[in-house]
Amino acid sequence: MSDTTALLKRAHELFPDEVVTSAHVRHLDLPLGAGKFALITLDNGFDHTKPTTFGPGSLAKLSEALDQVEREAAAGEIAAVGVTGKPFIFAVGADLKGVEVLKEHSDALAIGKGGHDVFKRIAALPVPTFAFYNGAAMGGGVEVGLHCDYRTVSTGVPAFSLPECFLGLVPGWGGCTLLPNLIGPAKAITVIIENSLSQNRQLKGKQVFDLGIADAVFAPADFLEQSLLWAATVLKGETVVERPEIDRGEAWDAAVAHGRAIADSKVHGAAPAPYRALDIIAAAKDATLKDAASLQAGFDAEDAALADLIMGGELRSGIYAFNLVQKRGKRPFGAPDKSLARPVTKVGVVGAGLMASQLALLFARQLKVPVVLTDIDQERVDKGVGYVHGEIDKLQAKGRLNQDGANRLKGLVTGSLDKAAAFGDADFVIEAVFEELGVKQQVFADVEAVVSPTCILATNTSSLSVTEMAAKLEHPERVVGFHFFNPVAVLPLLEIVRGESTDDASLATAFGVAKKLKKTGVLVKDAPAFVVNRILTRFMGEIQTVIDEGTPIDTIEKGVEPLGLPMSPIVLIELVGPAIALHVSETLHGAFPERFTVSENLRRVVAAGKRGFYTWASGQQEIDPEVAALLQVGDVVLTPEQVLDRALTAVAQEIALMLDEGVVAEAQDIDLCLITGAGWPFHLGGITPYLDRSGVSERVNGKPFLAPGIASVPA
């Protein structure tokens, strides 16, 4: 038994549930009399809804296929070898489930080495090798092709990426070493680092060709036929592939430095994967394609990086976060059966301010039903409708809508002062008026007077009680909280709040609408500030307290840096708006005075009409001297480490209390909310995996939030 076989056998035993991808070898006669071609088709036996992946069993199958073509190539029976995929899918890389089960560093090392050992045999074949990227290709799927001599790509490929850094890995089956040597380090870093860290941005087929990853590009209608014809012309010498010379001098180092700047701006040094990838890319400067010996150092470094990362918390958090978004986010935990949902054929929006207008646009675009905005005077209504129509024009100008589509959407969004006429036949009315309970109660009472008894009344309140808002209504069971996050078009989270009286049909309708809006609905109890605002307010409140006690803002920034948050809490205050931050903190202070303070300094900032702590007047981020002059602080100065500890302690305590109160069903929902509503990073897994692995959970609450193996190496 060869080393590879033994390695893969062991790996397969660890992962018996793998959906094994077959590597079918079929022989065909190339056009132009170019000879016999062995074409390997990667196919897991399912249709395109279950994309082809690589686990150890799949690598073993590919290894067997290579045994065969190696023999045939050595015997001179074939002129070339190709790899392609089943319809619509090339291969989407390693099976993550196979990574999750690994417990030992040595096993993790074996996964990297096993992949390399198999893929390297493609490069080592004595005949020319081709990859035909016919469909989606990601990670290891892309890398199989990189080991080939030539590549073609279909313009129909919808998604092509090396998403490893997004999850917390490196492209470790050759990607970090081969790609920069194929297309140069700058473009490779765009794919490996920048796209991956930009919410896993995907390339389309044409871009794969433009980047130089593929040597030829063909339309999907006869992609494989044209690829094979092209291969025949290459074999006959009629087509000569010329690739640009790669600058292996300072440009290489500059590209890597630029990559580090991108990584810093995205993860702020907090996630190791992109930096490990960059180290390997930097070293790949000394390698050459087709020179196996020169590539081996890079491949070894990839194996080591993979093993370290697989055993590290960031990757486990990344996979956990990925699964939350992909699975739990699509099948909301605790939502009533969707068959209970009522159809929504018309939507009313109370208020025509900015938030209300954004909601109107979203509802019209996604539900494609009439949306009526109302407000207290015609001017406001006109302004709201005008805003929506203006946004539709912008979408059209960007090519996202054609004229018919724009006409349709504009026709859907209207304004009215007459609620009775506007809402009489609405199935769903959402209010986005001033955050004051009395005002909202009055709005709902007015709306209830004109709508059907089953029309959903939804509130976009960020901190008021949904139950109290419904209390005086004749049909309180149709009231739900429907809390969006700013910017509405960007952040996927929708906290769906069940009031005390809310019935299942109304809740199911709300979840149905959320799905159609392409939002991530999370079921939340009617508790002060729900999930994201409560945690962020506790977090920022603790930071504010530390500031008020005397720690300089610079130290605060340094303290929270290791988290790699998308923005610091100080900047976040500005984004939210100090007045709103103050309002939420007051609400929470009212509910939980012992934990939520209201900062006098924040009051002063709001009273002074300042929009934040920083100014960018000089072109750089600086503390606004006018704000600095407003602050009255103590003389307790913490170290950055102490700052982080204070903030995390507060967050861990608050989440534990929220789970005890049943604000959400499980810690997973907290993390899903923080990822989709606050953009908290995958490498933290939201936050509870990080609190667990940094020991904060144990210290503060005496136990971790998640059982071992959920977002960590299994016990």
Partner 1 sequence: MPRTARDVVFVDGVRTPFGKAGPKGIYAETRADDLVIKAIRELLRRNPSLDPARVDEVAIAATTQIGDQGLTLGRSAALLAGLPKTVPGYSIDRMCAGAMTAATSVAGGIAFGAYDIAIAGGVEHMGRHPMGEGVDPNPRFLSEKVVDESALFMGMTAENLHDRFPHLTKERCDAYAVRSQEKAAKAYANNVIQPDLVPVAVRRTNEAAGETGWGLATVDEPMRPGTTMEMLAGLKTPFRPHGRITAGNAAGLNDGATASLIAAEDVARELGLPVKMRMVSYAFVGVEPEVMGIGPVPATEKALRQAGLTIADIGAFEINEAFAIQVLSMLDHFGIADDDERVNPYGGAIAYGHPLASSGVRLMTQLARRFEERPDVRYGLTSMCIGMGMGGTVIWENPNFTEGGK
Q: Where does this chain bind partner 1 (CB under 8 A)?
A: 22, 24-31, 37, 39-41, 43, 45, 84, 86-87, 219, 221-225, 228-229
Q: Which is nearer to partner 1, 40 or 664 (CB)?
A: 40
Q: Which is nearer to partner 1, 90 or 596 (CB)?
A: 90
Q: Given CA atoms 585, 586, 587, 591 in this order, what sign does their dihedral have?
A: positive
Q: Which is nearer to partner 1, 44 or 697 (CB)?
A: 44
Residue type for position 640? P
Whether residue 714 is preceded by a cis peptide bond, meaning omega within 30 degrees of 0, is no
Least distance in angstroms from the C-beta of 208 to partner 1: 20
Least distance in angstroms from the C-beta of 40 to partner 1: 7
CA 440 from chain centre, in angstroms, equals: 34
d(CA 224, CA 37): 13
Q: Which is nearer to partner 1, 224 or 471 (CB)?
A: 224
Q: Which is nearer to partner 1, 122 or 281 (CB)?
A: 122
**Entry field: residues in the chain:** 715
d(CA 319, CA 273): 13
Q: Which is nearer to partner 1, 39 or 464 (CB)?
A: 39
d(CA 72, CA 79): 9
Angle at the Cα of 571 (from 642 to 654), degrees rounded to 5? 50
Q: Which is nearer to partner 1, 228 or 373 (CB)?
A: 228
Distant-in-sequence, close-in-space partners of 42: CB < 8 Å, separation ≥ 6: 21, 22, 23, 52, 62, 83, 84, 85, 86, 90, 91, 141, 144
The 3 state secondary structure assigned to 471-505 is CCCCCHHHEEEEEECCCCCCCCEEEEEECCCCCHH
Least distance in angstroms from the C-beta of 219 to partner 1: 6
Q: Which is nearer to partner 1, 186 or 229 (CB)?
A: 229
d(CA 409, CA 396): 11
Q: Which is nearer to partner 1, 43 or 431 (CB)?
A: 43
Least distance in angstroms from the C-beta of 74 to partner 1: 20
Least distance in angstroms from the C-beta of 62 to partner 1: 12
Least distance in angstroms from the C-beta of 92 to partner 1: 18
B/e letters for 222-237, b = 16+ CB within 10 Å, e = fewer, are: ebbebbbbbbbbbbee
Q: Please, is 713 exposed, middle or buried when counting C-beta atoms within 10 Å of its C-beta (0-12, 13-18, 19+)?
A: buried
Q: Which is nearer to partner 1, 87 or 411 (CB)?
A: 87
Taking phi over 0 as left and psi of -120 to 50 as alpha, with beta for the rest, 87 belongs to beta
Please check whether residue 501 is in contact with residue 477, taking contact to mean a CB–CB distance below 8 angstroms.
yes
Least distance in angstroms from the C-beta of 234 to partner 1: 16
Least distance in angstroms from the C-beta of 151 to partner 1: 16
Q: Which is nearer to partner 1, 221 or 437 (CB)?
A: 221
> Tokens at residue 87, please?
């319809």
Q: Which is nearer to partner 1, 218 or 299 (CB)?
A: 218
Least distance in angstroms from the C-beta of 226 to partner 1: 9
- Give the side-chain half-sphere CA count within 13 A for 283: 16
Least distance in angstroms from the C-beta of 47 to partner 1: 11
Q: Which is nearer to partner 1, 82 or 312 (CB)?
A: 82
Least distance in angstroms from the C-beta of 29 to partner 1: 5
> Tokens at residue 82, please?
């190709």
Residue whose pair of structure tokens reads 């931050």 in the numeric block: 581
Report the C-alpha dihedral over residues 523, 315, 194, 111, rounded to 10 degrees: -130
Please check whether residue 496 is in contact with residue 514, taking contact to mean a CB–CB distance below 8 angstroms.
yes
> Tokens at residue 338, please?
């969707």
> Tokens at residue 458, please?
């939804």
d(CA 266, CA 47): 36
Q: Which is nearer to partner 1, 85 or 512 (CB)?
A: 85
Q: Given CA atoms 479, 480, 483, 488 in this order, what sign does their dihedral have?
A: negative
Least distance in angstroms from the C-beta of 123 to partner 1: 21
* Longest Cα separation, the chain: 86
